[in-house]
Structure 1
Amino acid sequence: MSASGLKTGQVPVEPVATAGKFKLTWRLLLIGLGALVLLLSVTRFFTGAEDLTSAGAINAAVALAVPIGLAGLGGLWSERAGVVNIGLEGMMILGTWAGAWGAIQFANPWAGVLAGAVGGLIGGLLHAVATVSFGVDHIISGVAINILGGGITVFLSKVTFAEMPGGGDTQSPPVPKPGVVSVPGIGGPLADLEARHWFLVSDLAGILRGLLTNVSLFTILAILLVPLTFYVLWRTAFGLRLRSCGERPVAAESLGVNVYTYKYVAVVVSGALAGLGGAFLSLVASSAYREGQTGGRGFIGLAAMIFGNWRPGGLAAGAGLFGYTDALQLRRGGESVHALLLLVAILIAAVAVYQLVRQQRTQAAIITGSAAVIVFVLFALTDSIPAQFTSVTPHITTLLVLSLAAQRLRMPAADGLPYRKGQAK
């Protein structure tokens, strides 16, 4: 047995990087983040949309990105083991109810966090039993979990929350909330710099103040789960075995890996993470459980996972993008979302230049450049976006991002495929 956790001579479960292949490094990541901040500063300077880099918008974006990111992490665990999980929404719904119930029952928000994880875990266990043990189609099982999660929580609310003071058939009484923390001594100076509206300096101050002040402890826990997932799945023997079940389960079985066990573990962890995302909605993003609280965030989390190419870092970036657009439309929607059109036009134009210069794809560059011109003309000829359109900004962003990222995606080779022990290759 080699240090990697599988027998010597095993074919790697993922393609080996070839010379010249793009590889994301910390240096490139920092350059990319700096360029993004610069673009936001330029857009804010020319449009006057101060919310683009305000501390309030950044703080709200992080809070809105957390449940999406947790759902996406849940999907990542499941699909890396070869089980498609579109039941994330239902598992999140179970987590919202269980999180509120646990916090109220034990008068402790962290009991609610644990209960939310258990609620989602139960949904994940049902999905694992159906797909792994009984071979039910993964999509059908996921749809059933979504329906079941909504129905069960309606029933449970009527027999629990409706009997409590301040509760009802569709909502819980107010719940205790986890505490918030701030880096001491920086709030005031950063607020002064932000209020001056200087180019780039004030933007950096607003972003840093949003990231470092009044941050929920639950948010910090959720952020830490991203590098933890990367370490477990990509730096341990356990993670290699789990990913081999999503790539080549027959080969993994021949090397002594219990494929059923690893699939069960992955789907149960997937449910627990989605449940944590649901608990965040009822404990942090709101002051109580309410029916329909997830609002499709489980599906957006699945989209963030696909955008991230089934990797934690890309997933976190996708969740941040969706959370940011959601935060802008909730604050000063028409003005801020309209300003985003200029940013989108610049980014699409940059993609067109890259396609033309680096990839030598003239036709694709012309199409992409035309799209950039259309977006810029739309920005120039309008003053704001109607409220009817700003409310669906996160969902439109989901569709656009997935359409642009579709050509570079590589899902696990055995994702969604039926598996039975002892089957031939």
Structure 2
Amino acid sequence: MSTGTVTKPSAAPKGGGRRKLTLPWIMLIVAAGLLLFSLVRVVSGADDLTSVGQVSGALQLAVPIGLAGLGGLWAERAGVVNIGLEGMMVLGTWFGAWAGYQWGPWVGVLLGLLGGALGGLLHAIITVTFNVNHIVSGVAINILAVGFTQYLSNFTFAEAEGGSSKQSPRIDQITKITIPGLSDWLQDLQQKHWFLISDLAGILGGLVTNLSLLTIVALLLIPATWWLLWRTAFGLRLRSCGENPVAAESLGVNVYKYKYIAVTVSGALAGLGGAFLAIVATGIYQEGQTGGRGYIGLAAMIFGNWMPGGMALGAGLFGFTDSLKLRGGAENVHALLLLVALLLVIAALWQLYKKKYVAGVVAAAFSVGFFLWYGLTDEVPSQFVDAAPYITTLLVLALSAQRLRMPKADGLPYQKGQGK
């Protein structure tokens, strides 16, 4: 006869494990963040922090990073590290622009996606079939993609009207949509600069104003990836290749096939991000326009703990800080000093509550430093403004490192039949 003690198998181990954030807690955290942001806007007077234009610009800057991060997630969930995302984005920008100015933007999107997929396939052949170190292969692809596109530009764009060896002719824009009535109403509400209400109106307004159809496709890929990888048998098999490929093989999973699929899809998503840069963000291909976004997408994926939702938040954070730099410059970034100071106060209180006194005192000391920096200056150096997105990425990764859990077999060599 069983006893009541066996009914508690799901209890967290003593002193270990983190509770998974539920939807109500996530919504509460988002609401608290919005309140804090609104407070900073009101105190600093930087009204552009949550304007419709700011949010719309942040979304456009976040999409290429998010697509690269999503590509990295596919590859690493199957156990393959994809440092070559940057090179695959470069291929996407070039092929997207090459096809886009000749046959239209949607053909450019398709060719950009295929260009990135070819880079992913090459990475899969090198790492899965020939078992080459994943980092070495990724770096080689990055170098190869830059040289290859520079070579192609010399006898394609250089000879085209309106082009040169470093840029393509102008590409037609993909249709952008704005919800009439709602967009204007939200913009009017945001311009009243009311506490919280105007901030919420600015965020919602940015999501319904001048929204490219390709942006909508990119946003839909996030829940689609979550459903495919976490709610289907295909996704379970793919993720098992990144956790324990030997065990997966013993259960009849063709590990090589799933790794090939994952890395090729990874390259296609990165290529789509590159095509977005060339066709939607700028309307033209320019040499070096990816600007390290493939690496930043990888950082966003790590920040998101190899999950689509967390990756999207990381991409959004970088896109937002990058948009602040482009739109408001020193004034908006100066307001962020106050936000960082307040966040450090919260962190200090939390660490003291958990009786981690050293960490609490350090956080408090830094918060005082940021308060003084904000109070004693009216603007920040231009170099700091330019570096703000990258500094944000480093800080977020440093602060989130303790809660990360990568797939167990990520980056490890695997050969068919090695478990026998």
Shorter-chain TM-score above 0.5 = yes
Give, in whole Å, the separation in 1 of the partners of 2:11 and 2:54: 38
Corresponding residue of 1:386: 381
Matched, 1:32 2:29: yes
Which deviations, in whole Å up to 9, do the C-alpha atoms of 1:193-237 show, x marking residues without a partner? 222222222222212111111111111100000000000111111
Matched, 1:342 2:341: no
Matched, 1:61 2:55: no
Corresponding residue of 1:289: 285
Give, in whole Å, the separation in 2 of the partners of 1:394 and 1:196: 28
Give, in whole Å, the separation in 1 of the partners of 2:162 and 2:55: 32
Which deviations, in whole Å up to 9, do the C-alpha atoms of 1:255-302 show, x marking residues without a partner? 111111110000000000000000000011102000000000000000
Aligned partner of 1:160 among 143, 156, 162:
156
Aligned partner of 2:168 among 172, 184, 194:
172
Aligned partner of 1:49 among 46, 71, 76:
46
Matched, 1:207 2:232: no
Give, in whole Å, the separation in 2 of the partners of 1:331 and 1:215: 18
Give, in whole Å, the separation in 1 of the partners of 2:240 and 2:181: 48
Which deviations, in whole Å up to 9, do the C-alpha atoms of 1:116-141 show, x marking residues without a partner? 10010000001000000001110000
Which amino acid in the other structure matches residue 398 of structure 1?
A: T
Matched, 1:250 2:246: yes
Shift of 1:356: 2.2
Which amino acid in the other structure matches residue 258 of structure 1?
A: N
Corresponding residue of 2:92: 95
Shift of 1:25: 2.2
Report the identity percentage.
63
Aligned ranges 1:24-423 → 2 under 5 Å: 24-106=21-103, 108-357=104-353, 359-423=354-418
Give, in whole Å, the separation in 2 of the partners of 1:423 and 1:368: 48
Q: CA RMSD in A?
A: 1.4
Corresponding residue of 1:23: 20
Give the stretch that moved more between structures: 153-162 or 195-204.
195-204
Give the stretch that moved more between structures: 59-68 or 21-30.
21-30
Which deviations, in whole Å up to 9, do the C-alpha atoms of 1:3-40 show, x marking residues without a partner? xxxxxxxxxxxxx8847842222222222221122111
Q: SS where residue 411 of structure 1 aligns?
A: coil
Q: SS where residue 292 of structure 1 aligns?
A: coil
Give, in whole Å, the separation in 1 of the partners of 2:222 and 2:345: 31
Give, in whole Å, the separation in 2 of the partners of 1:195 and 1:211: 16
TM-score, normalised to structure 2, is 0.95
Give, in whole Å, the separation in 2 of the partners of 1:307 and 1:409: 8
Which deviations, in whole Å up to 9, do the C-alpha atoms of 1:145-190 show, x marking residues without a partner? 1001111111111111111110000000000111111223112222
Give, in whole Å, the separation in 1 of the partners of 2:23 and 2:180: 27
Give, in whole Å, the separation in 2 of the partners of 1:18 and 1:148: 48
Shift of 1:397: 0.9
Gaps of 5+ in 1: 1-15
Give, in whole Å, the separation in 2 of the partners of 1:363 and 1:17: 31
Give, in whole Å, the separation in 1 of the partners of 2:188 and 2:131: 60
